[in-house]
Amino acid sequence: MKVIMRAGPAGGWSPDTRPQGQSMRPERVESKSQEPRVMSIARGCRRVGGARPPNGATFYRGARAGRRRHIGQIGLTVALIGLTTGCDALRNFNLLTVEQDSELGINAYAEVRKTAVVIHSGPDYEMVQRVTTRLVEAARHFDPKIVGEFEWEAILIDDPETVNAWCLPGGKMAVYTGILPVAETEAGLAVVMGHEISHATARHGTEALTRSMGLEFALAMISGTTSAGGAAGNEEVIALGTNLLLQLPMGRGAELEADQKGLEVMARAGYDPREATRFWERMGALGGDAPPEWLSTHPSHGSRIGQLEELMPAAIAIYERSPAREGAPLP
């Protein structure tokens, strides 16, 4: 496994001296109202994925027309799987390889970084890197093959008005400074990142993309080509695919799986899993008519906290056995 970590300059809290319970609210908030901005999905696409493709609507229609050539073959395959193994197989049906997951994530990550203001030092940056390292090492225990094949990297994006975090296929992650006040603590951030890492290792992102747009679109995003060809078409397919990856809801089954795996990963990494229920209560309080962007793809439905509490005893048992609680490295 190649883990890409960039060490920050000296100063700030170190891994041994910054307590889990210490607040990590951003030092400056530039919003006039001092409140996180609530964004619609459409506006989120433009902010998170870069500029909207100049001919996005036309391209979308073209992509749908192109994939009709394959819909018979793929549709028959999906139908046969559904008939022989049940509906759960359809949710886990993925036409891409793990290597293609990584290629797709790399292209999408580059698209995001075109416009993102990335923080490269400071306590919050160091916190994100530390949590990422611990969670990735913990996730290796549960999914050694997938974790080993992904190239993990996390960036901190300076945007106090955006309440969001994500992990692309292949292990490329981003945390927005706007989610830090909701996380409140290092353990709270581990809830968010553990959940997102679990989506990636379960390959939920590419499952959702191929279900929504078809195999041809996903492969075009990986190769950076379209049937029309040309640089403009390449940019459009990558930009549109990036927005879809960051905005497509995963479904309740995938969310429950990520909740369970996320609890186990953060517990093994030495973070108290009981922080998960407190985090979701805080996130749910930000809902309403216009919830934060993260909630648009991670619905805080009424049964979620109850489901977390059902999963909690097993997660607490992992936490109590974890050597990382005392700062020791994981075996």
161 is catalytic: no
3-state class (DSSP) for residue 89: helix
The active-site residue, picked from 126, 196, 255, 264, is 196
Q: How long a stretch of residues is the chain?
A: 331
Q: What span, in angstroms and rounded, lies between the C-alpha atoms of 234 and 225?
A: 5
Beta pairing partners, 118:
157
Q: Could you please report the per-residue DSSP string of 96-155?
A: S-HHHHHHHHHHHHHHHHTT--EE-SSHHHHHHHHHHHHHHHHHHHH-HHHHHHSEEEEE
Q: What span, in angstroms and rounded, lies between the C-alpha atoms of 139 and 70?
A: 36
Rg (CA), the chain: 20
CB-based contacts of 254: which residues, under 8 Å, 6+ apart?
91, 199, 202, 204, 207, 208
Active site residues: 196
